[in-house]
Amino acid sequence: MATSIARRDFLKCTGAAALLGATGITSQRASGAEIPGTGVTQRIDEVELYMTHYALFEEPDPKVPPALYFDASTGMPTSELLLTSPVSQRVLHRSSRNPTELTGAAETSKVLPYVVEPPGFPPTPPPPAVVGFVQAVTGLPAALITPNTSILLVAMGQFLPTTAVAGKLAGASFLVTKEVHFEVRIRIGFLFQPPAGIPSPAVGLLVGYLDFGLLHQLIQLPPPPNASEIVIYSWRSTMTLSTENRFVRPIASEPPPVADPFEDDIDQIRFIGSHVDHVGRYTIVGHAEHVEFLAPPELVQFLFGQTSLADVEFAVQEKGVLLG
């Protein structure tokens, strides 16, 4: 898989001014309670999530392979697997009685794509239509395309609006309390990656979403009446994310995640909050225990080999900037 620029290097290369210009946000920033005005904009540039049994991943996801991506339904290029900062942002209004108290409306994040490797997906050779499409884009022969094309599974996650957000900004300490609702669909595609020495771009063709028909086929159940309905699953819990919080777990003590395996070079999950600094940068961390995994029983069976899942912890780390 081709390497990608690390997020920190990307942010250094593009520069803070370019990011601010792209989002249309003014560059007025200050630390903690020094942020002027009646409201505070919380810009969320990076998110990391951990769900017991399922995945540990970051957004934007550096493991999304760089390629020219196309939507099979239109035949046109698509940027849906490219996530740029900010992931999300919300406006928090100060209380007239106590300026450290904040409130804000729930917000919808951008769609957050991350590569997954759920068990049970058999090795799938590219269909002739996929090979033909890649041929048309690259001009390469089918005999080269077929062995270098593999199935691509990308979870398309999104934070959805639920209840209002309550916050507090006192000096360098910052927290938000909200109901976190993270919903996912699985995007299915094929990715051609040219072997070394072949002067061609990688090409991805996104062909659809995991639906109940394919899910039943994968777990060898009869076709369901809702075969064309897209499978949706989510986690939902109220949590307080704070600069004071931390969530640290040795990898050896955690169940291996099925959708996005732990990387070989890490030995622990490490989410650490950090105070608001002199330019408004912050890290907040929150987590919840005994979270219900909201999913069809067929999907739970497919992913985990059982029809229900208990003792799920859900942890979130957000990094960004507070703006006046």
Q: Give the domain ranges of the chain.
A: 7-12+36-323
pLDDT in tens, 137-191: 999 999 999 999 999 999 999 999 998 999 999 999 999 999 999 999 999 999 9
**Per-residue pLDDT, 287:** 97
pLDDT in tens, 194-248: 999 999 999 999 999 999 999 999 999 999 999 999 999 999 999 999 999 999 9
**Per-residue pLDDT, 122:** 83
Q: What are phi and psi of 184, to 5 degrees?
A: -135, 145
**Per-residue pLDDT, 123:** 81
Stated pTM of the model: 0.85
- Interior/surface letters 242-279, b for 16+ CB within 10 angstroms, e for the rest: bbebebebeeeebeebbbbebeeeeeebebebbebeee
pLDDT above 50 for 19: no
- Interior/surface letters 282-311, b for 16+ CB within 10 angstroms, e for the rest: bbbbbbbeebebebbebbbbbbbeeeebee
Q: Mean pLDDT throughout 99-113?
A: 94
- Interior/surface letters 13-48, b for 16+ CB within 10 angstroms, e for the rest: eeeeeebbeeeebeeebbbbbebeeeebbbbbbbbb
**Per-residue pLDDT, 120:** 83
pLDDT in tens, 252-293: 999 999 998 899 899 999 999 999 999 999 999 999 999 989
Q: Mean pLDDT throughout 77-102?
A: 93
pLDDT in tens, 289-298: 999 899 999 9
Are 314 and 287 in contact by the 8 Å Cβ rule? The answer is: yes
